[in-house]
């Protein structure tokens, strides 16, 4: 895909707008190879204070930890497993739906600075017995899907997601976007950081729920961002942050 030239005549209110203007259209497969990560840094995986006194912690009480947290892992090999309407509804509702109220205002299952909720979710359904294949927008307030395009987008997904092939037997994917202006209106430049943090919580919720439903999942950032923007017809102030792909079942505990 040809890179668009940078237009230095455009002015931006926030730095994150400039960042996305210059964002590469794709994360290459070579950049995601394990060897590339290990060669990029020789520092320890965890930060350590060698001269600081250590206070040993007792063994954690695993009995109080939900099984999904212990089992959460990205799928590596997948077998065909369609996703049902009820399963998708459960994933979306308890990931980012309006599940309760506080002071008369709707609240969602993630912490959101100022309850601004700057994220949007776009499910792409490929294999479901009771939802037509196509691209949708999740309307959390209505608890409904809004169909943006119909048809089988399997080939399109394989073409624009690094490492996704027909062998993955993907049943669905969720594209997570942000409208940082919702938070920036209140928190300024910090609004983008809050949106990114919130996206991380959404990904974790999604994978934990998928594990409980016995659905394999994997976050994917090796994507052609501009292709997604164009396909979803995003407005200029809305940005793709990440995606979660669903295929097969979760790895067995200990894998």
In this structure, is residue 83 part of a structural domain?
yes
H-state helical runs in the chain: 15-21, 29-32, 34-40, 67-71, 85-96, 154-160, 181-187, 190-212, 225-232
Distance CA 184, CA 196 (A): 12
Q: How many CA atoms lie within 13 A of 107 on its CB side?
A: 11
* pLDDT of 20: 72
Band (pLDDT 50/70/90 cuts) for residue 10 is: low
Query: How far is the C-alpha of 122 from the C-alpha of 199, rounded, in Å?
Result: 13
Looking at residue 229, which CATH number applies to its domain? 3.40.109.10
Residue 119 CA to residue 199 CA, distance in Å, equals 7
Calculate mean pLDDT across residues 91-101.
94
What token pair was written down for 114?
Answer: 């100022």
The verdict on residue 53 lying in a domain is no
Decide if 9 is inside a domain.
no
pLDDT of 214 > 80? The answer is yes
Mean pLDDT for 5-19 is 65
Inside any domain, residue 97: yes
Q: Give the structural domain span for 191.
A: 78-247
Pick the residue with more confidence: 153 or 104?
A: 153
For residue 1, name the pLDDT band (cuts at 50, 70, 90): very low
Rounded to whole angstroms, the Cα distance separating 198 from 196 reads: 5
DSSP 8-state class, residue 203: H
Residue 30 included in any domain? no
Q: Does residue 180 belong to any structural domain of this protein? A: yes
What is the mean pLDDT of the segment spanning 100-125? 93
Residue 26 · residue 224 · CB < 8 Å: yes
Query: Does 33 have pLDDT greater than 60?
Result: no
Taken in order 101, 105, 110, 111, is the CA torsion positive or negative? Answer: negative
Specify the higher pLDDT residue, 40 or 229: 229
Q: Which residue has the higher pLDDT, 101 or 173?
A: 173
39-91 tens-digit pLDDT: 555 555 788 898 999 999 888 887 777 787 877 888 776 788 899 999 999 99
* Confidence bin at 213 (pLDDT 50/70/90): very high
Tally of domains in the chain: 1
Average pLDDT over residues 107-131: 95
Query: Could you give the C-alpha distances from 39 to 15, 30, 171, 205, 236, in angstroms and in order?
Result: 30, 12, 34, 31, 36
């Amino acid at each position: 895909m040809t890179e668009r030239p940078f237009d230095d005549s455009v002015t931006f209110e926030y730095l994150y707008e400039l960042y996305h203007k210059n964002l590469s259209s794709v994360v290459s497969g070579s950049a995601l190879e394990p060897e590339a990560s290990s060669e990029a840094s020789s520092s320890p995986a965890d930060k350590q204070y060698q001269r600081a006194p250590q206070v040993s912690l007792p063994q954690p009480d695993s009995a109080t930890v939900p099984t999904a947290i212990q089992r959460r892992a990205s799928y590596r090999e997948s077998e065909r497993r369609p996703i049902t309407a009820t399963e998708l509804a459960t994933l979306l509702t308890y990931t980012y739906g309006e599940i309760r109220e506080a002071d008369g205002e709707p609240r969602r299952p993630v912490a959101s600075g100022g309850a601004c909720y700057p994220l949007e979710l776009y499910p792409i359904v490929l294999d479901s017995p009771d939802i037509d294949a196509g691209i949708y927008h999740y309307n959390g307030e209505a608890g409904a899907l809004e169909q943006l395009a119909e048809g089988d987008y399997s080939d399109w997904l394989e073409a624009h997601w690094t490492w996704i092939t027909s062998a993955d037997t993907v049943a669905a994917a969720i594209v997570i976007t942000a409208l940082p202006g919702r938070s920036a209106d209140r928190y300024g430049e910090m609004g983008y950081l809050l949106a990114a943090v919130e996206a991380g919580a959404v990904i974790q919720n999604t994978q934990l729920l998928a594990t409980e439903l016995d659905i394999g999942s994997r976050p994917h950032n090796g994507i052609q961002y501009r292709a997604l923007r164009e396909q979803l017809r995003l407005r200029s102030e809305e940005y793709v942050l990440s995606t979660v792909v669903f295929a097969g079942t979760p790895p067995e505990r200990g894998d």
